[in-house]
Structure formats: structure tokens, C-alpha cells
Structure 1
């Protein structure tokens, strides 16, 4: 079976002059770099002394699940004759902190709002979300539940 490798670099940019000499002595800012692409400015969640103007790993996690589901869904619609005109997912992930300071995601909810073309099969469009979920590389790789509550709207001609 084919294997795919994804390489990137994460570089800490938050040394305020004294490194990690104290918990509050450094910024959590960092850059995520992938060759030949723009760098993404990232930090930790503001609850963990991060910069609220930058993306954080928890957001990346939820975005990865949402994006993977969407891409599979669009593929399945294209190959099954369902015309998608618009797709927006207002996804939400819930992380639970433990007393030790660690944490884990306990749930991710995808809420795609899909607009399909007049004449497309709305029932099939809804079912294809289940198939997309089964194929999603990212959802197949995580240990928390990933739920999907889609809504389908048919465009008027």
C-alpha cells in the first residue's frame, strides 16, 4: 500500500532574551513552515499564556478534521453526481484538562452546511457525509469521537 510522508518545521520564536528561565519569561510564539508555502504564525491557547492573535495546535487539530471530512465529501459528491455549490463547516472541538495539567480532546463536532444544486439528490448528499467520515484519514487517526451533524439545502433554480 502507498505511504505518504508530510514534512514540516516548527520553530520557536518566543525567546524574550532569557530563554525558558521561568514559566512566564518566554513567549509561546512559533512558526509552522512547510517547504514552498507561507509560514503560519502559531502560539499556544491564551489559557496557556499564548497569543490570541495566532492559531494554536488545538485549532489546527479541529481544522484538520473538518478539512479532511470536507475534501472527502466533495470528492464523493463529485463522483456520485451531487452538485455542491457551497460548503461551510462551523466545527467545534472540546478539550478536557486534567488535574495533572495534561489534557485531551473528548469530542469534535463537525456541522457542515451544504448547499447543493437543484436536481441533486438531497438524501444521497446527506448519506455521503457518513461515507466521507469513514474515509477521512484524520478521523481514522484520532482517539476521540468525531461526530457530524450536516444540514443540506437545495438551491432554488
Structure 2
């Protein structure tokens, strides 16, 4: 078993009014590794006035966690299958929408990996199998109910 930690830290600033919702959603997130990232609420949720430009919102962090977990899992699966990956780029996208009960959720994350290989490249069926296996072993994918779709792009050897 492993334990992971993150500390979210927010404070009301002078001139802000918590009772009326007139306060910045800017905060910091310090991860167990010591890395500190600026955080905010999504401007899609609270508007630009209360969101902080350039800071990460929870929805972006979720999409990033899913994309990086799938990437790391795929690299492992590809190596074990005898392929040599030289580059992996994923322009992932998450969709937030209302559930039937009216609550918002990230319903789907679409991964769009583009992968380059040295030497031989997998055929479409092998690439699909590797992505399927990567999804099965991805800790984050196993932890969320969000639908995760992989739109594979074969880049080939370089």
C-alpha cells in the first residue's frame, strides 16, 4: 500500500467577502513531493473574476492525472511487448456536464495519444491491445467513474 498527500491552502484576502461569494478561489496545492502548484476554481464554474489565470483547476488536474497515468501505463506495456517508444504526446480533453440529479461531474475524458517508435511499430490491433491493457492497469482509471476514451493515432517509427 502507498499513501499520497496533498495540502490545499486558501485564505480570505483583505477586501473579499466570503458571505456573498466575492472572494478569489486562488490557492496553492503542495504535493507530497514538495512540488507546489497554484490552484483555482475553473472559470467555467465561478467566472473569470474569481478564478486565477494560469493556475490549475481541479478538473484540469483530473484530466492531467488520467492522461499521465495512461501514458506511464502505456510506456510500461509497450516496453514489455518489445516496442521502443521514443515520443508520446497526448492532447487529452475532459467534458464536464450535469448528471440527471443536476450535479456537475467530469463525465468523459478523451485521450488522443500520438506515439513515435524506434524500429518496428505496432499494427493497429497491437496498439489497441496495448492501450486497452494500459487502461486496465492505470491506477487513476481504476479510481474514477469517468468514461475514458482512447482515440489512437499511429505515428510509426522515426
TM-score range, shorter-chain basis?
0.7 to 0.9
- CA distance 1:153–1:101, shift in 2 (3 Å): same
TM-score, length-normalised on structure 2? Answer: 0.86
Distance in 2 separating the partners of 1:104 and 1:115: 33
What's the Cα RMSD here? 2.1
- CA distance 1:133–1:36, shift in 2 (3 Å): closer
Matched position secondary structure for 1:16: coil
Q: Give structure 1 stretches of 5+ with no counterpart.
A: none
Distance in 2 separating the partners of 1:18 and 1:120: 56
Matched position secondary structure for 1:54: coil
- Where does residue 70 of structure 1 map in the other structure? 71
Matched position secondary structure for 1:21: helix
- Where does residue 30 of structure 1 map in the other structure? 27
Q: Give structure 2 stretches of 5+ with no counterpart.
A: none
- CA distance 1:105–1:155, shift in 2 (3 Å): same
- Where does residue 113 of structure 2 map in the other structure? 112
What is the aligned length? 153
- Where does residue 144 of structure 2 map in the other structure? 142
**1:16 touches 1:27 (CA, 8 Å); kept in 2?**
no
| Residue 22 of structure 1, CA deviation | 1.9
TM-score, length-normalised on structure 1? Answer: 0.87
Which digits, 9 at most, give the CA deviation of each residue in 1:65-96, with x for residues without a partner? Answer: 00100000001111111110110001011001
- CA distance 1:14–1:118, shift in 2 (3 Å): farther
Matched position secondary structure for 2:88: strand
Matched position secondary structure for 2:19: coil
